[in-house]
Amino acid sequence: MHKILGYIAIFFLVFSLAQVSYAQEDKVLYHSGVNAALNGETDFAFVEFHSLVNGYRRSPYYKEALFGVGEYYYSIKDYANAAGSFSKFIEHYSEAASLPFAIAYLIKINKLAGTPQIIYDLKRKLIEFMQLSLLFSEFKEYTCTSALNRQYKARYFIDKIEIYIDGKLFEEIHF
Amino acid sequence: MANYSKKSISKPVIISAALTVIILISVLGCELIRTYLTSHKNEIEEHLAGYLNQKVSIGSIHYVPPSFIILKDISVSCANSESKYNPIVVKRITLIFSIKEIIRNKNMLISKIYFVRPEFNLFDHPDFFKENVAVIVEAIKFLAKGRPLKIITEDATVVLERNATAMQAVLANAKLKINSDNQIASYGTVDLCVLSNKNNRIQKEKSLFDKPLSYIFLAALDEGDIKINTLKFTKGNFHAAFKGRFRQNLLRLKGASTVENFYRTASSVKRNVFISKIRSLLLYQRIPQKVDVLVGGLNIFDIDCLVRFNQDKIQLENIAFYLNKIPVRLQGSIVWLEKILLDLNIATFPDQPAYLRGNNPKKLDAKIAVEASQGVFDGKFSLDFLKTTHNNKLAQKIEMIVKGAALGFLPDAQQKLFISRISCAYTSGSDFHAFPLQGMEVLFNLIDKKTKFLKFKAKIYDGFLKGHAVFNPDNILFNPRFEFMIKDVSARELDSLVFSLSRMYQKLPTKLGGKIGGKFTGRASYKSLPSSQWTGAVAIEDGYLDNVQFFVWLADFFNIPELKRVDFKKISSEFMITDTITQLDKMYLKAEEVGLAGIFRLENNELVSSKLSLTIATRLLKTSPKFQLLLALVDKDIPELTFNFQLSGVYKALNFKWLESDFKRKLQKILPGFIERGIEKKVERAIKSIAQH
């Protein structure tokens, strides 16, 4: 009986150590990627984020890494893979802070692909993201920084949304 | 020589004398026959009357050598009828008989019958025809006596409607040939037209169609059965072909039909006439050999028709076909007693298992029941279908009950349909809504130019409805356009009407629930090309808004309870509804202390674009503790304040912006930034709360 209890204890110990190791590895990968991005080494950052996305589906860093992978694909004009990453992102993280920017990327890609119906649906998702009440201001501003160290800014006006990346206007959506 | 000359003279004399005698005998014979026929006219009439069991009148009878008997102005009258028109009237009947048969077998055999302008008043004397169809068929059989017989009818008419100078009728020209080997062949044309009766002469004035319907019927009598080898119909781009058998009282037909290029685009319909004429000269005329399944056409194929004929009833046991790949079944009956009863059931996908059919968006069930008596009919029509919206399927039903409908024929070939009462009902899921129309009059003229026009008016609730519709049968799906106006209807009655429309378009407000009062006036027009579009305007005068959602929210937000009920002088708006947008333009509300103006546009993806201007009297604002302070900050003496808003975004979570105004500018000057932000947050919460309702 004692033996059995001993085996169970060892099993849980090994299992929890493995979990710690798992948590540590994805964290290491993420921070390694973020540091590489801060140093301007986006290729290395992509490798780290890509490993995280492929190996650690349940990681708390998965969301940021997935967005980073999409950003990288877009920057090298691999639009098919970028669309895949961003589509997965908006499918799983409808409340994420970077959701408007993932949608903006997809709108841009679909404009290139000439798929108006998809743009139509994405536009609606982007508008739905924030409900506005503008009494004294002209717009509401919304910012975030990505894992690839890009500064994102969304300006929600009453009848349009402006998306900026690193201070440059990336997409303007009228409705 | 003298003998010779005597002999040579006597021969011509003899021949002349013989000829004279023959002519005299012939003339005498003819005169005897004519006299006999004339003197026995009454006997012939009585004989025929006995045969038909009705009074028969013949104007005159003539014999024309060698083998023609001509009967003029024949009429068969019906003793039991109140109609001033006889059931059958024939201008002239020519009977051609075989002299050889008379000489050889002393038997008068009719080989050809020629009817000129026979007129059948079928609808004035339904019982007469019901009782005598079998007699007429037997009479034809008797005349044929197993020998070849040809029957030709010229300008036969079945009268539908008539007045003193004109009649609307089915006009037929047909030839029927019965051979001695029991082969039957018939061909001819059928048309629907207006005939004028001027100076006792019938003339064709107008035709409903460009071309009449042509038919070919080839059959064989086979041991009491009629084997239908070919039954073909052709009219312009319409072709239909059938084969089948008539055994005892059961008709079975199988076939197909098509309308070529039924789905023509509007642009393709507009042809260059000159080029078309040149093309028709250069190209050979294609003669349709068979019915084909055509892409872009309206195809009805695999027609399987089983109809049972009884004395008082035609039972449509089963009429099944595919309409452009959609299986359809038609069943029902036509009963011909004191009243004519029509009962039809039409269903698409009839053989699909119930669990599949229940979710099939192309499933339709239509029922038509009509009871007609002495030109007046009552009817009930219903249509069940599924409405698919946002992946949901909801059972829908449209019902129409018609009471006391009658069709009249006016001068200038116009027709008038009068309906004493119509009840229109719409059921969506478990919601049921209905509205009545009374004393409806529809004036139309189907036999006109290509464009058909009809006018209608009716009483609706305590107001009235008036309008007209235009459609073109030659154009793509008739290209219907119509306009109508509703006037002086109590707005509270319109809840169900607005609900019905909103269910159709899924966009209009549905929760009126008796919250609006006043007199409603509206006009609307519809056109189907280039795309479906409704436009119009509505107005309600001297009414009230009681607990309408927007004003309830305003009342709560501004803390002014009086806004929950607004008594207005006028509320109005123009509107446009298309396949992609619903738009309210020039919205206007004028009440003593509240005013509203603006536009509202809702797209198919539920995106809203709107600008509104709300004016509230200062007296009313002062009743709000929230505004007392703000008003004190700006100007106490202004009579009213105007708030301009812009709304955008998704319908259920609208974005809101307070547009520039003097009041806003004054407030901005006075209020510090943190108070502005505080107010903005409160408004945000309030906006979200209205979105949740």
Counting residues of chain B whose pLDDT is more than 70, the rounded percentage is: 82
**Shared-domain flag, residues B571 and B485:** yes
Q: What is the pLDDT of residue B294?
A: 45
d(CA B218, CA B228): 6
> How far is Cα A48 from Cα A46, in angstroms, rounded to an integer?
5
Q: What is the dihedral of CA B95, B100, B105, B109, to 10 degrees?
A: -20
Kindly determine whether residue B609 and residue A159, on different chains, have CB atoms separated by under 8 Å.
yes
What does the block give as tokens for A123?
A: 């536009």
Average pLDDT, chain A: 86
Sign of CA dihedral B246, B247, B249, B253: negative
- Reported for B43-47, long-range contacts at CB under 8 A and 24+ positions apart, including other chains, are none
Q: Is residue B70's pLDDT more than 70?
A: yes
Tokens of B480: 């219907």
* 3-state SS, residue A111: helix
- Same structural domain, B442 and B478: no
Both B487 and B424 in a single domain?
Answer: no
Domains contained in chain B, number: 3
Mean pLDDT of B174-195: 87
Higher pLDDT, B675 or A7: B675
Which residues of chain B are within 8 Å of residue A120 when distances are taken between CB atoms?
605
Predicted confidence (pLDDT) at residue B560 exceeds the cutoff of 90: no
The band of B169, judged by pLDDT with boundaries at 50, 70 and 90, is: confident
Interface with chain B: mutation pick from A132, A141, A161, highest number of B CBs within 10 Å: A132
**Residue-range definition of the domain harbouring residue B401:** 354-448
Percent of chain A topping pLDDT 70: 87
Average pLDDT over residues B337-341: 82
**Exposed e or buried b for every residue in B9-37, given b needs 16+ CB within 10 A?**
eeeeeeeeeeeeeeeeeeeeeeeeeeeeb
User: For residues B574 and B178, what is the distance between their CA atoms, to the nearest angstrom?
Assistant: 67
Instruction: Identify the residue with better confidence: B111 or B671.
Output: B111
Q: Are B193 and B205 in contact (CB under 8 A)?
A: yes
For an interface test with A, give the residue of B643, B644, B651, B657 to mutate (most A CBs within 10 A): B657
Element at B504 (helix H, strand E): helix B495-505
C-alpha–C-alpha distance, residues B353 and B336, integer Å: 35
More confident position, B6 or A38: A38
B72 vs B128, more confident:
B72
pLDDT class of B332 with cuts at 50, 70, 90: very high
Strand partners, B220: B183, B227
Tell me whether residue B234 is in a domain. no
Say if residue B283's pLDDT is above 50: no
Look at A136 and B676 and tell me if their CB atoms are within 8 Å. yes
B643/A contact by beta carbon, under 8 A: no
Question: Could you give the 3-state DSSP secondary structure of residue B302?
Answer: strand
Could you tell me if residue B371 is inside a domain? yes
Q: Which residues of A touch B653 (CB under 8 A)?
A: 128, 131
Q: Which of A120, A133, A159 sits opposite B680 (nearest CB)?
A: A133
Residue B678: what pLDDT?
75
Residue A4 to residue B138: CA distance in whole angstroms: 106
Residues B269 and B253: beta-carbon distance below 8 Å: no
Size of interface A-B (CB pairs under 8 A): 65
Q: Say whether residue A175 is in contact with chain B using an 8 A CB cutoff.
A: yes
Query: What pLDDT shows up at residue A142?
Result: 87
Q: Are A132 and B658 in contact (CB under 8 A)?
A: no
- Note whether A28 contacts B: Cβ–Cβ < 8 A: no
- The pLDDT tens digits for B590-641 are 888 889 999 988 887 778 899 989 898 888 888 887 777 677 766 667 788 8
Q: Whose CA is closest to A137, among B254, B60, B336, B657?
A: B657
| Residues of chain B with C-beta less than 8 angstroms from the C-beta of A135 | 657-658, 676, 679-680, 683
Q: How confident is the model at residue A6 (pLDDT cuts 50, 70, 90)?
A: low
Residue range B572-602, pLDDT digits in tens: 999 998 878 888 899 999 888 889 999 988 8
Chain A residue with minimum CA distance to B688: A131
Rg (CA), chain B: 38
Give the pLDDT of residue B263. Answer: 46
Under 8 Å between Cβ of A154 and A139 = no
Query: CB A124 to CB B658 under 8 A?
Result: no
pLDDT score of B649 more than 70: yes
What was the pLDDT predicted at B269?
Answer: 41
* pLDDT single digits (tens) B295-307: 455 788 889 999 9
B653 at interface of A, judged by CB pairs closer than 8 A: yes
- Is the residue at B386 inside a domain? yes
Q: Tell me, what's the pLDDT at B553?
A: 74
Same domain assignment for residues B409 and B485: no
Lowest mean pLDDT among A157-166, B377-386, B404-413: B404-413
* Phi, psi values for residue A11, rounded to 5°: -60, -50
| CATH architecture designation of domain A2-174 | Alpha Horseshoe (1.25)
Q: How many Cα atoms occupy the beta-carbon half-sphere of B446 within 13 Å?
A: 13
Rounded to an integer, what is the distance from CA B159 to the centroid of its chain? 19
Distance from CA of A84 to the nearest CA of B (A): 24
Tallying the residues shown for chain A, one arrives at 175
Identify the CA nearest to B654 among candidates B641, B664, B663, B645: B645
Residue B284, C-beta contacts closer than 8 angstroms, at least 6 positions apart = none
The verdict on B642 and B579 lying in the same domain is yes
More confident residue, A34 or B433: A34
Please indicate, yes or no, whether residues B470 and B416 belong to a single structural domain of this protein: no
Query: What does the mean pLDDT of chain B come to?
Result: 80
- pLDDT at residue number B197: 72
Residues on chain B touching A127 (C-beta within 8 angstroms): 607, 648-650, 655
Q: Do B655 and A132 touch (CB under 8 A)?
A: yes
- Cβ contacts of A132 on chain B, cutoff 8 Å: 649, 655-657
| Burial classification of residue B636, based on how many CB atoms lie within 10 Å of its CB (0-12 exposed, 13-18 middle, 19 or more buried) | exposed
Mean pLDDT of B27-55: 77
What type of residue is B174?
A
Q: What is the mean pLDDT of residues B132-141?
A: 72
Gap between the Cα atoms of B304 and B288, Å rounded: 22
Q: Which residue(s) pair with B345 in the sheet?
A: B331, B367
Q: pLDDT band for position B285 (50/70/90)?
A: very low
C-alpha angle with apex B20: B19 to B24, nearest 5 degrees?
A: 115
Non-local (6+) Cβ contacts of B309 within 8 A are: B249, B250, B251, B315
**Residues on chain B touching A155 (C-beta within 8 angstroms):** none
Q: For residue B654, list chain A residues with Cβ-Cβ distance below 8 A.
A: 131
Query: Is the confidence at residue A110, as pLDDT, over 50?
Result: yes
Condensed to tens digits (0 to 9), the pLDDT of residues B344-389 reads: 999 999 999 988 888 888 899 999 999 988 778 899 999 999 877 6
Do B377 and B494 lie in one domain? The reply is no
Q: Can you give the pLDDT at residue B286?
A: 39
B680 chain-A contacts, CB cut-off 8 A: 133-137
Q: Per the confidence metrics, is the pTM higher than 0.90?
A: no
Q: Does A120 touch chain B (CB under 8 A)?
A: yes
Q: Strand B653-658 and strand B640-650: pairing?
A: antiparallel
Higher per-residue confidence, B506 vs B371: B371
DSSP-derived 3-state class of residue B514: coil
Banded pLDDT at B390 (limits 50, 70, 90): low
CB A25 within 8 A of CB A139: no
Measured CA distances, B530 to B90, B265, B480 (Å) = 51, 10, 11
Does A134 sit within 8 Å of B657, measured CB to CB?
yes
Q: State the virtual CA torsion across A59, A62, A63, A69 in degrees, nearest 10.
A: 180
- What is the rounded distance in angstroms from the CA atom of residue B543 to the CA atom of residue B528? 34
Q: What is the pLDDT of residue B266?
A: 36
Both B422 and B542 in one domain: the answer is no
pLDDT (mean) for B514-530: 82
**Within this chain, do residues B472 and B575 fall inside the same structural domain, yes or no?**
yes
Question: CB–CB of B655 and A131 under 8 A?
Answer: yes
Same domain, B476 and B373: no
Instruction: Give the DSSP H or E segment for B72.
Output: strand B68-77
- Is the CB of residue B679 less than 8 Å away from at least one CB of chain A? yes
Q: Where are the domains of chain A?
A: 2-174
Written in H, E and C, the secondary structure of B261-284 is: CCCCCHHHHCCCHHHHHHHHHHCC
Closest CA to B344 of B378, B375, B318: B318
Q: Is the pLDDT of residue B501 over 70?
A: no
Buried b (16+ CB within 10 A) or exposed e, B209-241: beebbebebbbbbeeeeebbeebbbbbeebbbb
The tally of CA atoms less than 13 A away on the side-chain side of residue B540 is: 21
What per-residue confidence (pLDDT) applies to B516? 72
E strand map for chain A: 133-134, 139-145, 151-157, 160-165, 168-174
ipTM above 0.90, yes or no: no
Count of C-beta atoms within a 10 Å radius of residue B667: 19
Q: Are residues B360 and B427 in the same domain?
A: yes
Q: Mean pLDDT across the stretch B669-689?
A: 69
Q: Are residues B367 and B436 in the same domain?
A: yes
Cβ atoms within 10 A of the Cβ of B435, count? Answer: 20
